[in-house]
Amino acid sequence: MKVCVIGTGYVGLVTGVCLAEIGHNVICVDKDEKKISLLNIGKVPIYEQGLEEIVRKNRDSGNISFSRDVGYGIKNSDIIFISVGTPPLSTGKPDLSSLDEVAKLIGKSINGYKIVVNKSTVPIGTAKRIKKIIKENQDNDHSFDIVSNPEFLKEGEAVDDAFFPERLVIGSESKKAIDIMKELYGPIINQDFDYARANSHKKEKVPVLITDSTSSELIKYASNSFLASKISFINEIANLCERIGANILDVTYGMGLDTRIGTRFMKAGIGWGGSCFPKDVRALSYTAEEYGAGANILNAVIHVNNQQRFKVVQKAMDLLGIIDDKVIAVLGLSFKPNTNDTRETPSIAIINKFLELGAEVRVYDPVVKEYPSDMDKGAVMASDPYKASDKADLLVLVTEWDEFLNLDYGKIKKIMRSPNIIDGRNCLCKKSLTDMGFNYKGIGI
């Protein structure tokens, strides 16, 4: 099928390459000239394991192409995916200006029956909003259908999530569009394509939920909000553990043995960040309040998370006393491992707070090498974790990159001025670090 994907960020690029790999003819378009130029020379603008190789393979075979001309992509495709960003406004409401811009252009460029698939995470009712904007901008009577097809990929595992999803949700009021979507995703649903056959992650079959567009939109927000709630819940229990002398690792293990609870998303730490959870929980809370349904749990989930990252700063004060003039090494900038995404990362909030308190901050991340725009310019980017730790009074692990699990902590202890470690992800071994002579503080242990 002829597919256009508008917006080649984390979601759009992965969606486009996945559809190309299963045999469709895909044009990925983006208004960002730099991204398109990089993609046209086979380079991927984001860090996502395995992505560049599949992009190059499909570009070389002609299954995927990249363009800045959005109108060209729309005119030359039957199915149009929208995967532009929907960042939060200060009220918590998502900014739909990119989406509206794209809908207008679809209206202006429509030249035959099209299926417009919304993959961006959007507020309830957006399918109807897109339909209205397209209609208002049409100067012909070509028909089109709208589909809500939310994306559930996880950054850092995006390629696998796209090829081997746990479910596909297709929300539409049009039977014709639903049937075409099922055909489009046929190889994914049946796990019947070369990449799957050669991969151990292959599933038997992928469940597909067909529903109306409003339920589909809510499934995405409610899923992310539920996952964020699990983390905030366990962080609150971890804070209680610290007060009463319990160990959160044993507590979560004991809880997780109950299969109704499970162990996933039950890891205590400094909380969630990234481009999805913060904005999606805020957006759902906004919608719930807008419709008079109440958002008490959601608001508490946000509140707990906002406080959680600053527990690290409190622990630093407990270890160091006055922070002014202390040297603090921070390991990890991305909001989680295996991605270069620093949107709403707890790391930057923590670094900015340390700088505000007068510390000298050195930060190292295995893949984030560009200075994030919202990080205080006082922080120094170190080229390796040892340079960051040299003569430091405190080492703070913020992102649980594998590299940090395997550092030479004996060497780090020797080069630090004072052997203090805060493990914001409870991913290091407390006993061995304590045996080495570190003052170790985790979260709830």
Ligand X SMILES: NC(=O)c1ccc[n+]([C@@H]2O[C@H](COP(=O)([O-])OP(=O)(O)OC[C@H]3O[C@@H](n4cnc5c(N)ncnc54)[C@H](O)[C@@H]3O)[C@@H](O)[C@H]2O)c1
Positions marked active-site:
276
Kindly report the backbone phi and psi dihedral angles of residue 223, in degrees, each rounded to the nearest multiple of 5, phi listed first. -65, -50
Q: Using CB positions, name the residue nearest to ligand X.
A: 9
- C-alpha count within 13 angstroms, C-beta hemisphere, residue 382: 21
How many angstroms separate the CA atoms of 231 and 228, rounded?
5
Q: How far is the CB of 44 from ligand X (least distance, A)?
A: 12
List of residues 6+ apart from 370 with CB closer than 8 A? none
Nearest distance, CB of residue 157 and ligand X, angstroms: 10
Q: How many residues would you count in the chain?
A: 445
Closest alpha carbon to 61 in 70, 53, 49, 69: 53
Quote the crossing angle between the two packed helices 296-308 and 277-290, to the nearest 10°: 150
8 A C-beta contact, residue 342 and residue 335:
yes
In angstroms, give the least distance from the CB of 275 to ligand X: 5
CB closer to ligand X, 21 vs 151: 151
- Whole-number Å distance between alpha carbons of 263 and 284: 25
State the pairing for strand pair 114-118/79-82: parallel
Closer to ligand X at the Cβ: 162 or 178? 162
Coil, strand, or helix at residue 350? helix
Strand order in the sheet with 380-381: 380-381, 360-364, 327-331, 394-397, 420-423, 439-441
Token pair of 398 as six digits:
């913020």
Give me the least distance between CB of 120 and ligand X, in Å please. Answer: 3
Nearest distance in Å: CB 35, ligand X:
5
Least separation, in Å, of the C-beta of 172 and ligand X?
Answer: 18
> What burial class does residue 143 get, using C-beta atoms within 10 Å of its C-beta: 0-12 exposed, 13-18 middle, 19+ buried?
exposed
Q: How far is the CB of 278 from ligand X (least distance, A)?
A: 10
Comparing CB distances to ligand X, the nearer of 86 and 347 is 86
167: which DSSP letter?
Answer: -
Q: What are the distances in angstroms from CA 392 to CA 45, 269, 309, 361, 416?
A: 33, 22, 21, 9, 5
In terms of CB distance, is 169 or 375 closer to ligand X?
A: 169
Q: How far is the CB of 167 from ligand X (least distance, A)?
A: 13
Q: Which is nearer to ligand X, 335 or 354 (CB)?
A: 335
In the complex with ligand X, the residue whose CB is nearer, 342 or 389, is: 342
Query: Considering beta carbons, is residue 72 or 310 the nearer one to ligand X?
Result: 72
For 288-309, the DSSP string reads: HHHTT---HHHHHHHHHHHHHT
Nearer to ligand X, 343 or 362 (CB): 343
Q: By CB under 6 A, name the binding residues for ligand X.
A: 6-12, 29-32, 35, 70, 83-86, 98, 101-102, 120-121, 151, 153, 155, 275-276
Q: Could you please report the per-residue DSSP string of 15-27?
A: HHHHHHHTT-EEE
406 φ, ψ (degrees, to nearest 5): -110, 20
- In whole angstroms, give the CA distance from residue 198 to residue 201: 9
Q: 336 or 353: whose CB is closer to ligand X?
A: 336
Contacts for 117 with CB less than 8 Å, ≥ 6 apart: 79, 80, 81, 82, 146, 147, 148, 149, 181
Residue 133 Cβ, how far from ligand X at the closest point, in Å? 13
